[in-house]
Amino acid sequence: MTRIRFHQELEELKHRILAMAGMAEQAVDLAVEAYTERDLGLCQRVLTNEAAINRAEREVDEFAIDLLAMQQPMAIDLRFILAVIKINADLERVGDQAVNIVQRVMNMIELAPAELPVDIPAMAARARAMVRDALRAFIEGDPELARHVLVADDEIDRMNKEAFAALSACMQSKPDWAAQALDALSIARNLERVADHATNIAEDVIFWIRGADVRHGAGQSLAGS
Amino acid sequence: MTRIRFHQELEELKHRILAMAGMAEQAVDLAVEAYTERDLGLCQRVLTNEAAINRAEREVDEFAIDLLAMQQPMAIDLRFILAVIKINADLERVGDQAVNIVQRVMNMIELAPAELPVDIPAMAARARAMVRDALRAFIEGDPELARHVLVADDEIDRMNKEAFAALSACMQSKPDWAAQALDALSIARNLERVADHATNIAEDVIFWIRGADVRHGAGQSLAGS
């Protein structure tokens, strides 16, 4: 494979990881819409889409591995491909969180609606923005944006702690809503985990870019041994 | 680097990922002991160890990347090294779960002791066994043992669902213990996540072994294009 061809394949890999990200983000959107609308049909769509996300994950992995196997990539390309493989795994797990959310939503739909002291859509918007920013940092090779994602994670943790405090107080003051409050607590945690995956992605971006900066001579330690 | 030397380096990589697994497993053990003993000193040790685990993760990653950069590995070795990189990330997150657990334990130590309807040590023992088995499956290249880990995950999910039901009932019947019950609920979830990471590792083992079986000609699709 020529070097130009190799770079075309890297571009293709970039497009595929972006498509994977789009699927994972959409899964979270649908799950949160299922929550606000109490919509069983949307829950079902998230469950169906999961299989497609898992398939896409395997395809991205195989494509990346084929690229590694084809040509001994330069250190910078090697790190890029490894970052894709790691990011891919995190995106698949974002999809898993969407599934966890709709499992709770399906439970809530069978219960009476409750006015719960938690703003799930606001948390979801934050978590979603973090995933989007982390991917943008990756595509644009922007370490500042990646670091911004790491900072945003503290905000989500704070929102989750608030949700925890408010919902556990609610459980005690309104025992009739305890089951719904627990479901909402789970959903808030799942969104926190979405944010954690965005954080992982941002760390991978920093790892990749730092490698690009300082490790052009990657492998020297072994080469010299 | 000669082929023999390369295989020595692969052995070294195997030792390093085992050492990493030992650190992650120990962190979970200490966290659960901190829970049963209500021991703040043990909590502190888990928090201190986390930095060492993070450092070990980076070192394993760099070692694996150096190996990839040094020599175009055969498809089977390539997949082995990639499996190490993925397993490494999961082990680091097992360490994160131990940190999450001791954060809850530190909260519980400030509250009155409560008799909670959940057997945390039993859940921890299961989750720990899964991590150990997943690593053993990797070291021994044993796909049956890896599949056994996937089955064991259902058992942990069942234990977690039971804990959820029992603890949420407890919250309603004994509001004085609601805070403690919520902490225990979190800890049970964290243990379920440890099991999830073991499951991820088992899947990576199957991916690696399957690649070894069927993909000796990895990269053919790109090679032919």
User: Which tens digits make up the pLDDT trace of B104-135?
Assistant: 999 999 999 999 999 999 999 999 999 999 99
Counting the structural domains of chain B, the total is: 1
ipTM associated with this complex: 0.76
Residue B58 lies in a domain: yes
Cβ(B95)–Cβ(B47) below 8 Å: no
Residue B22 has pLDDT above 70, yes or no: yes
* Torsion sign, CA atoms B212, B90, B123, B25: positive
DSSP-derived letter for residue A111 is S
- On whether residue A222 sits in a domain, the answer given is no
Q: Phi and psi at residue B2, in whole multiples of 5°?
A: -70, 165
Query: Which pTM was predicted?
Result: 0.84
Judge: B223–A1 Cβ closer than 8 Å, yes or no.
yes
Nearest to A83 by CA among B200, B22, B68: B68
The minimal CB distance from A65 to the residues B61, B78, B168 is found for: B78
pLDDT at B225 over 60: no
In a domain, B41, yes or no: yes
Q: Exposure of A106 by Cβ count < 10 A (0-12 exposed, 13-18 middle, 19+ buried)?
A: middle
Predicted pLDDT of residue A16: 96
**What pLDDT score does B4 carry?**
86
Q: Residue for token digits 């606001």?
A: A122
The answer to whether residue A224 sits within a structural domain is no
Using CB atoms within 10 A of its CB, is residue A11 exposed (0-12), middle (13-18) or buried (19+)?
exposed
- Domain hosting B183: range is 3-215
Asked, for residue A188, whether it belongs to a domain, the answer is yes
Position A18 in a domain: yes
Which of B54-63, B74-83, B202-211 has maximum average pLDDT?
B54-63
B212 — pLDDT class (breaks 50, 70, 90): low
Q: B66 and A218: CB-CB below 8 Å?
A: yes
pLDDT, average across residues B183-204: 94
Best to test chain A binding among B7, B63, B68 (most A CBs inside 10 Å): B68
A223: in domain: no
State the pLDDT at residue B126.
96
Which DSSP string corresponds to A163-192? HHHHHHHHHHH-GGGHHHHHHHHHHHHHHH
pLDDT per residue as tens digits for the range B147-166? 999 999 999 999 998 998 89
Q: What pLDDT band is residue B1 in, cutting at 50, 70 and 90?
A: low
Number of CB pairs < 8 Å for A and B?
86
Task: Calculate the alpha carbon distances from A14 to A18, A145, B88 in Å.
Answer: 6, 18, 24
- CA B124-B128-B129 angle, to 5 degrees, is 120
Q: Average pLDDT in the B89-100 region? A: 96
Report CB contact under 8 Å: B67, A222: yes
pLDDT of res. A76:
82
Q: How far apart, in whole angstroms, are the C-alpha atoms of residue B96 and residue B53?
A: 9
Residue B49 maps to which CATH number? 1.20.58.220
The three-state (H, E, C) secondary structure of chain B, written as one string? CCHHHHHHHHHHHHHHHHHHHHHHHHHHHHHHHHHHHCCHHHHHHHHHHHHHHHHHHHHHHHHHHHHHHHCCCCHHHHHHHHHHHHHHHHHHHHHHHHHHHHHHHHHHHCCCCCCCCCCHHHHHHHHHHHHHHHHHHHHHCCHHHHHHHHHHHHHHHHHHHHHHHHHHHHHHHCHHHHHHHHHHHHHHHHHHHHHHHHHHHHHHHHHHHHHHHHCCCCCHHHHCC
Residue A225 forms part of a structural domain: no
Q: Torsions phi, psi of A177, nearest 5? A: -100, 10
Note the maximum CA span of chain B: 68
Minimum-distance CB partner of A72 among B72, B86, B218: B72
| Collapsed DSSP state (helix, strand, coil) of residue A209 | helix
Give Cβ neighbours of residue A103 (< 8 Å, ≥ 6 apart).
none
Question: pLDDT (tens digit, 9 = 90+) per residue, B23-54?
Answer: 999 999 999 999 999 999 999 999 999 999 99
**Which pLDDT score is estimated for B2?**
80
Digits of tens for pLDDT over chain A (225 positions)? 688 888 899 999 999 999 999 999 999 999 999 999 999 999 999 999 999 999 999 999 999 988 988 777 888 888 899 999 999 999 999 999 999 999 999 999 999 999 999 999 999 999 999 999 999 999 999 999 999 999 999 999 999 989 988 998 888 888 889 889 989 999 999 999 999 999 999 999 998 887 755 433 333 333 333
